[in-house]
Structure 1
């Protein structure tokens, strides 16, 4: 009786927290679109004297043409080369001298730039992003410089890292038609073969206001910020080219695909990747909660079973890739010393089967809901996080207000939904399996 009462209290606490998010903790924002197509989202939070200025361009590696991979990621670097009004290499120094920081990232679906600044420097951030959009230098010097930078990054992060080629091998094996088969970093050969005109065409096609979302969050005055945005962005002409949106549908996988990779590693590893629906679908939310169940902390199912109890692995986790088109759900484990990959894979399969056959207890399910809620709140606890979330929700779902309502989509997931999606998607015919082995094990 006491246990049931405690579980009931936990359920009530979660429900009240969700209600609090939608009422007293609602994130207020203003959004509008300039005549040139630039979508603007402004969120005012005067609690601390800082501001995040960000621009999301709706272009990622999936927008690249065959034989010219790596363009989106390459431009992430190239756009810091300078503009007609900013000398080469000055982007970072201008922000740092103002007491701020900046960065960018690229995915399959987007390229995202941001500056974190003292709030009295918001105009600097807006000017820098407007310059990037209108006057970026796409010349031989910048292209050659960044070719070397990107190649060195690939060597450091992928080629010379243990298990660094995991992404390339997983996605190229899992996808046969869809552009997700190529990772955002692309290939040396494609970048080296590209002409300066091809880079300029990419810029003119994708780096236009009608393919961008400007999101500003923090210690701002909305009306004053609107005037600054009008000053810096309204004069940028709308792009005139059609923006390519791939409509390739990956054929349904009907049998398991396997690959063995011999890498510069000491401990073998097993990676399993299952095809799953795109982000925003009901099943995606259930699969996201399944991920937390499997690897949301040291006491989650995969590390608890494989690392703590059986000691077959030194690490084990599950990762869903939130993508605009149907993506992948990964589980992976790195073997403990002396453990064979076949035994490790079998142990991973056992844990997946447990989800399919054993109902979640009320206690475990409530813990899962609490974790998901905590992660969601933490994601939007900073102005930088809110700026990014608002832009993402607008671009991917056409609804920036999901920042206030998406949590309820997670909380709507039932125990039975988690078991159902595990049965439907985590099947052998729907997956690829990679075994990573030391190079010393390679047959001669």
Structure 2
């Protein structure tokens, strides 16, 4: 059971359905409101209106006009967003639990009295037009498979039309049209309010009544009739797409109705997983992506769609690919042939469900969605058990059903110009204007109410923390977090001098191990990934709590292999940050870099337990976990030879230039080496936030103060080689690199001339204290951040101690730390982009060092 506790439900007198779901382990709270209206509720001529309306609901209400909805969210490092689906629209916030009443106030205010103005309409229409352009018009394979495939499979306007809509039609919308839509669909009786996290049900009930209880009840427009017959024949649509290298094919099948046949629906979920994992017999192409629903499992009412999408191999026609899918259905119609794969698929689906909904936001939204669509919020915690009961016979029956069913096939092939099918259903012209003129103005006249203050906030606590060093020198950290029956595991190892000098070789060595380990973990319902960013080699993943030793066994097999596997040529590095940091490491290492191709020696250098840390967070006994780790990793020993000595770095004040012709924007990193200093870390934490670590920081304020916001920048700190650095990263159009350099350096100089004072420090402290709480939103995130803290040099209890340290640090210490970290006169760093050295001539006091680099590789030394 995810969380092991049924949500508490109640219904207000105005019809609002309320769910309260306490979720121990987090000091934050999530609030979601699901309205039972989506793009399948749109009448002809109004396609795209539900999505437009979602955008408008953030632009103002009676008490929070002109975009002030986000004020409490940003101040407290929270998140807020909304999404539009076929049958619902959801709005959600995640905040410190002290801000629960503020979240409820803001949601109630826009449920009571949103403000719709011509100016807001114009602004949001421009934003939606850009969103459609990015998602569909300018994107290769735009509209594939959604929103094009529904128009092939379905006949009725509600099921078939494009939920993005027609911007030209939407531009005719008036504020009164919006008020009419609000009146028809956004009544309390058409909504579900969900509160999850650090919440007391009795206190929550009082707050809900206070803020939502006086919203008047009103009639709700009936839901559309979505029923339609299944297709009587296969349906094919072919369209052209310029500039793409291969044909794309998508298949759509009708799914069983989960409200009436949930076991049949879940059998199709398992079948889709089998197809994704096992694909088709060669040589039909790369893996297929198969899923139930365009937006996820149980995210729509009936009718919904099983979607298969792929790029066939060269020479494989769409017709042959579809025939191969039919052959797969024939093969899997025999339950005896799929018993093992079904069991593995079910284990994986159950574990993934637990992991996904071990996150506070995801759990809150899923509870509300299932209640809004099916009246069954409790289904969220029932699903792992229901999936576990799916049998090979049920999956085989689903395969036979799909083999006999008629389907939709969407083919998108390379062509000289873009072609798209017309609307599957004739669309009416301009819709009738709103019947009540002035409705929007009257709606926005509600009395203004004051935003309530935040309540008290408790500090986070780790439950059952154990930190120790086992016999081989490996640092082991274990934390109990029983919100879900999984254990998150992270092993982090520094690459060492040979690896830092040749990170692409480490990547090549890791590739075959990554594939084998991932396959082994899937067998017991876990996940195992092996990756390197040039600084660390990370083994990460999760296991069901009963399979913890199995995951450690996979890890041991990787670490204890007698010889390295034959390396696989790694993919080219395209991420500019990764390319730039690799160039910095090689440059700073200077003569220490070396060019040794001894793979066994490189492997031994990286796999050093004395330099590594292993973190486990989840449903485990933290006191017993180190013994399990020690038993599994008994044979993993430190390599022979002298201990690692501190590196001597060279050229740390050089500004490297890595030319990347064709790169649309340059990635600029300015940095300074600043070794770890435990007593000063709290002051440094706040100094980083003040300089460029949050929305009200100095860097962000300077950029927003320009005539146009033309680039973005932020500050941070991390580990590089065997030391630490403070950095600023910026994403800048190539031609603006000199201006961005000047901006950032001006702010660096201002730190000494105008140091942060008490008020600036207090604002940053409030933000940081609130942001820190997000570490506890899920076991997955908690494991990530504990691993990050430990590898940075902190103790595992850093997340617990930090709030007190931040409150105690004097502003004067923060001001000194800001100058020390970022007030350097001549920062070093790297620029990766299509930037000519002559363009940087204005920075005469900077030492520019141009580097050469092969395509996709870290820059070589000059």
**TM-score normalised by L of structure 1:** 0.87
Structure 1 residue 182 corresponds to structure 2 residue 182: no
Where do residues 232-311 of structure 1 align in structure 2 (5 Å cutoff)? 232-239=211-218, 241-264=219-242, 265-280=244-259, 281=261, 282-295=263-276, 300-302=277-279, 305=280, 309-310=282-283
> How many Å apart are 1:387 and its aligned residue?
1.3
**Which residue of structure 2 aligns with residue 356 of structure 1?**
333
Structure 1 SS opposite 2:63:
coil
Structure 1 residue 30 corresponds to structure 2 residue 11: no
Q: Which runs of 5+ in 1 are unaligned?
A: 1-20
**Which residue of structure 2 aligns with residue 318 of structure 1?**
290
> How many Å apart are 1:442 and its aligned residue?
8.7
Structure 1 residue 393 corresponds to structure 2 residue 370: yes
**C-alpha contact 1:100 1:117 (8 A) present in aligned 2:** yes
Select the structure with the greater relative contact order (CA < 8 A; seq sep ≥ 6): 1
**C-alpha contact 1:130 1:233 (8 A) present in aligned 2:** yes
Q: Aligned partners of 1:65 and 1:132: how far apart in 2?
A: 24
> How many Å apart are 1:209 and its aligned residue?
0.8
Structure 2 SS opposite 1:186:
coil
Structure 1 SS opposite 2:367:
helix
> How many Å apart are 1:206 and its aligned residue?
1.1
Structure 2 SS opposite 1:42:
strand
| Per-residue CA distance 1:125-144 (angstroms, 9 max, x = gap) | 11111111112111211112
**Which residue of structure 1 aligns with residue 147 of structure 2?**
168
**Which residue of structure 2 aligns with residue 328 of structure 1?**
305
Q: Aligned partners of 2:392 and 2:65: how far apart in 1?
A: 56
> How many Å apart are 1:78 and its aligned residue?
0.6
* Distance of aligned partners of 1:372 and 1:143 in 2 relative to their CA distance in 1, 3 Å threshold: same
Superposed structure 1 runs of 4+ greater than 6 Å apart: none
Match of 1:440 among 410, 416, 420: 416
> How many Å apart are 1:178 and its aligned residue?
5.2
**C-alpha contact 2:62 2:110 (8 A) present in aligned 1:** no
Structure 1 SS opposite 2:147:
helix
**Which residue of structure 1 aligns with residue 702 of structure 2?**
none
**C-alpha contact 1:70 1:184 (8 A) present in aligned 2:** yes
For structure 1, which segment, 339-348 or 265-274, has the greater mean C-alpha deviation from structure 2 after superposition? 339-348
| Per-residue CA distance 1:205-244 (angstroms, 9 max, x = gap) | 11121111110000112222221111111111112x3322
Structure 2 SS opposite 1:430:
coil
**Which residue of structure 2 aligns with residue 9 of structure 1?**
none
Q: Aligned partners of 2:134 and 2:42: how far apart in 1?
A: 24
Q: Aligned partners of 1:85 and 1:63: how far apart in 2?
A: 29
**Which residue of structure 2 aligns with residue 74 of structure 1?**
52
> How many Å apart are 1:75 and its aligned residue?
1.1
Q: Aligned partners of 1:141 and 1:441: how far apart in 2?
A: 36
- What number of residue pairs does the alignment pair up? 410
**C-alpha contact 2:44 2:157 (8 A) present in aligned 1:** no
| Per-residue CA distance 1:166-196 (angstroms, 9 max, x = gap) | 2132111111125120132222233123333
Q: Aligned partners of 1:340 and 1:441: how far apart in 2?
A: 20
- Give the greater-gyration-radius structure (CA): 2
Structure 1 residue 214 corresponds to structure 2 residue 190: no
Where do residues 378-417 of structure 1 align in structure 2 (5 Å cutoff)? 378-417=355-394
**C-alpha contact 2:147 2:163 (8 A) present in aligned 1:** no
Q: Aligned partners of 1:176 and 1:378: how far apart in 2?
A: 37
**Which residue of structure 1 aligns with residue 175 of structure 2?**
196
Structure 2 SS opposite 1:158:
helix
**Which residue of structure 2 aligns with residue 111 of structure 1?**
89
Root-mean-square deviation (CA, aligned residues, Å) is 2.1
| Per-residue CA distance 1:270-290 (angstroms, 9 max, x = gap) | 111112223342311111111
Structure 2 SS opposite 1:176:
coil
Q: Aligned partners of 1:181 and 1:442: how far apart in 2?
A: 21
Where do residues 135-150 of structure 1 align in structure 2 (5 Å cutoff)? 135-150=113-128
**Which residue of structure 1 aligns with residue 352 of structure 2?**
375
> How many Å apart are 1:347 and its aligned residue?
3.3
**Which residue of structure 2 aligns with residue 129 of structure 1?**
107
**C-alpha contact 2:347 2:388 (8 A) present in aligned 1:** no
**Which residue of structure 2 aligns with residue 151 of structure 1?**
129
> How many Å apart are 1:92 and its aligned residue?
2.8
**C-alpha contact 1:177 1:251 (8 A) present in aligned 2:** no
**C-alpha contact 1:56 1:214 (8 A) present in aligned 2:** yes
More helix by share: 1
Q: Aligned partners of 2:380 and 2:147: how far apart in 1?
A: 32
| Per-residue CA distance 1:367-403 (angstroms, 9 max, x = gap) | 1220121122123212222212221222222222222
For structure 1, which segment, 128-137 or 191-200, has the greater mean C-alpha deviation from structure 2 after superposition? 191-200
**Which residue of structure 2 aligns with residue 431 of structure 1?**
407
> How many Å apart are 1:337 and its aligned residue?
4.6
* Distance of aligned partners of 1:111 and 1:442 in 2 relative to their CA distance in 1, 3 Å threshold: closer
Q: Aligned partners of 2:116 and 2:321: how far apart in 1?
A: 49
Structure 1 SS opposite 2:46:
coil
**C-alpha contact 1:178 1:248 (8 A) present in aligned 2:** no
Q: Aligned partners of 2:99 and 2:393: how far apart in 1?
A: 50
Q: Which runs of 5+ in 2 are unaligned?
A: 420-862
| Per-residue CA distance 1:396-443 (angstroms, 9 max, x = gap) | 22222222323332222211111111211343x510112110123999
**C-alpha contact 1:279 1:326 (8 A) present in aligned 2:** no
Q: Aligned partners of 1:90 and 1:334: how far apart in 2?
A: 45
For structure 1, which segment, 121-130 or 248-257, has the greater mean C-alpha deviation from structure 2 after superposition? 248-257
| Per-residue CA distance 1:281-337 (angstroms, 9 max, x = gap) | 231111111111111xxxx111xx46xx53x42442112114202211111111345
Q: Aligned partners of 2:286 and 2:15: how far apart in 1?
A: 50
**Which residue of structure 1 aligns with residue 396 of structure 2?**
419
**C-alpha contact 2:370 2:379 (8 A) present in aligned 1:** yes
**Which residue of structure 1 aligns with residue 814 of structure 2?**
none
**C-alpha contact 2:240 2:412 (8 A) present in aligned 1:** yes
**TM-score normalised by L of structure 2:** 0.46
